[in-house]
Amino acid sequence: MWTDAATSSVVVGVDAGATGTRCLVVSEEGLVLRSGRAPGANQRSSGDAWAESLVQALRAALSGIDPERVAAGFFGVAGAGGAGAVTARAAAVSAWRGQRLPGLPVVGMDIVAAFAAGSAAPEGLVLSAGTGAVAARIHTTSVVRRCDGYGWWLGDEGSAVWIGRAALRAVLGAMDGRDPGTALVDTVPRALLGQSAPPPGEDLAQALVARVYGAPPAELGGVAPVVDEAARAGDAVAHRILAEAAERLLHTLDSVRAGQAADGLPVVLSGSVLTRPTLVAELVAQGVRERYGVEPVRAHEGAVGAAALALRHHLGDTARARAAHEKLLDSAG
């Protein structure tokens, strides 16, 4: 990566998700100069040290950058909507000040950054499914309507954690004899417990229960790739889980449209479940084509969108800001 020795202004974009935190330092022209990574920073599902991840990502990305060059920052934080807004802002401001950066960052929902990571349009729809799941209608960098994003216990339907939980229920039901047999009985325990997993039976059931209740909810999302593999190999139970996940995600997206015209608006798909080559991604993309008549756009990582929003806050709603946003999207591809 280019070593920047200039003194021009830069902006900082941070995407704080449940399984990872990424920070980008970007020039006013939309060029990525530095990046930093840290563990997840979702206050609901990433564990007690989530706020420290913001500090780690910032510190890594800003190494060698004069703090006075930083003109603006945007933090897109999972769980920052509604009830979590005050806590998210406090953590972001603390991390910002800890690096002795001037001013204060803008702190917003990660779904806004997700849309900006796929489109520079002023308005559109975004559906995100990674550890969690949420959809929103965006207008001029603001959420005008949203659906779901309520966390693994109350919502996040179709997310990786939702898929993992459904798979575990299928495994326990199959071992109990309540539900159909499935190859997931062999593969899911190995994904969670490793090679030390007991054979199917009561010991395995109790080991799975202990593992799930003793770990951060985000770890359940690690089961989703196993379910995808089983479905592609012909397992009917796994395929049913993923088909239901896709339908729930599409229903969530339909809900933010709420009868309003969406003709021609971009539809951005974000999050690991929808941007990686998964069966759910295929089903959702096909559903978007059929229901909305547009080709969905797969977003880059959220930090790209966060940096683009930082550029807009720094440069204003100008042609220069829009050009930098487009350049950032092009270079990220």
Residue 3 belongs to a domain:
no
| Inside any domain, residue 2 | no
Is 289's pLDDT higher than 80?
yes
Helix or strand (DSSP H, E) at 27? strand 21-27
282 lies in a domain? yes
Task: Count other Cβ atoms within 10 Å, centred on residue 234.
Answer: 9
Does residue 260 surpass a pLDDT of 90?
no
Determine how many CB atoms are found less than 10 A away from the CB of residue 25.
26
pLDDT in tens, 312-328: 999 988 899 999 999 99
Q: What does the alpha-carbon distance between residue 15 and residue 316 come to, in Å, rounded to a whole number?
A: 21
**147 and 199 fall within a common domain:** yes
Q: What value does the mean pLDDT take over residues 283-300?
A: 95
Is the pLDDT at 189 greater than 50? The verdict is: yes
Query: Which position has the higher pLDDT, 294 or 78?
Result: 294
Confidence at residue 108, expressed as pLDDT on a 0 to 100 scale: 86
Query: Is the domain of 223 the same as that of 193?
Result: yes
The pLDDT assigned to 16 comes to 86
The total of structural domains in the chain comes to 2
- Work out the percent of the chain whose per-residue pLDDT is above 70: 90
Distance, in Å, from the CA atom of 142 to the CA atom of 276, rounded to the nearest integer, reads 26
pLDDT in tens, 69-116: 999 999 998 766 665 678 888 888 988 898 899 999 999 888 999 999
As a whole number of angstroms, the distance between CA 79 and CA 17 comes to 9
Query: How far is Cα 298 from Cα 174, in angstroms, rounded to an integer?
Result: 36
- Could you tell me if residue 4 is inside a domain? no
Check pLDDT > 90 for residue 275.
Answer: yes
Residues in contact with 193: Cβ distance below 8 Å, sequence separation at least 6, in sequence order = 207, 208, 211
What is each CA distance from 240 to 178, 222, 245, 321, in whole angstroms? 16, 18, 9, 44
Do 146 and 268 reside in the same domain of the chain? yes
Residue 1 maps to a domain: no
As a whole-number percent, the residues of the chain with pLDDT over 90 amount to 63
Question: What is the rounded average pLDDT of the residues 195-218?
Answer: 87
- Any domain includes 163: yes
Same-domain pairing of 290 and 307: no
Does residue 171 share a domain with residue 196?
Answer: yes
Q: Inform me whether the pLDDT recorded for 235 exceeds 80.
A: yes
Round to whole Å and give the CA distance between 172 and 136.
34
Indicate if 16 and 89 belong to the same structural domain: yes
**29-83 pLDDT tens trace:** 999 999 998 876 555 554 456 678 888 899 999 988 899 999 999 999 876 666 5
Is-contact 77 114, C-beta < 8 A?
A: no
Question: Do 219 and 91 fall within a single domain?
Answer: no
Domain check: are 96 and 184 in the same one? Answer: no
Strongest mean pLDDT among 32-36, 196-200, 211-215, 240-244: 240-244
Is 98 domain-assigned?
yes
Give the pLDDT mean for 127-132. 93
Same domain, 192 and 168: yes
Judgement on whether residues 152 and 268 belong to the same structural domain of the protein: yes
Provide the CATH number for the domain around residue 111: 3.30.420.40
Contact 108, 75 (CB under 8 A): yes
Q: Quick check: is 176 in a domain?
A: yes
Based on the fold, state whether residues 100 and 149 are members of the same structural domain: no
Look up the domain containing 52 and give its range.
Answer: 10-117+300-332
Provide φ and ψ at 64, rounded to 5°: 85, 0
What CA–CA distance (Å, rounded) separates 40 from 37?
A: 9
Say whether pLDDT at 138 is over 70.
yes
pLDDT value for 259: 63
- Please give the pLDDT value at position 87: 81
| Same-domain status, 191 and 155 | yes
Residue type for position 255: S
Predicted confidence at residue 2, as pLDDT, reads 43
Nearest in space to 238 (alpha carbons), one of 306, 170, 303 = 170
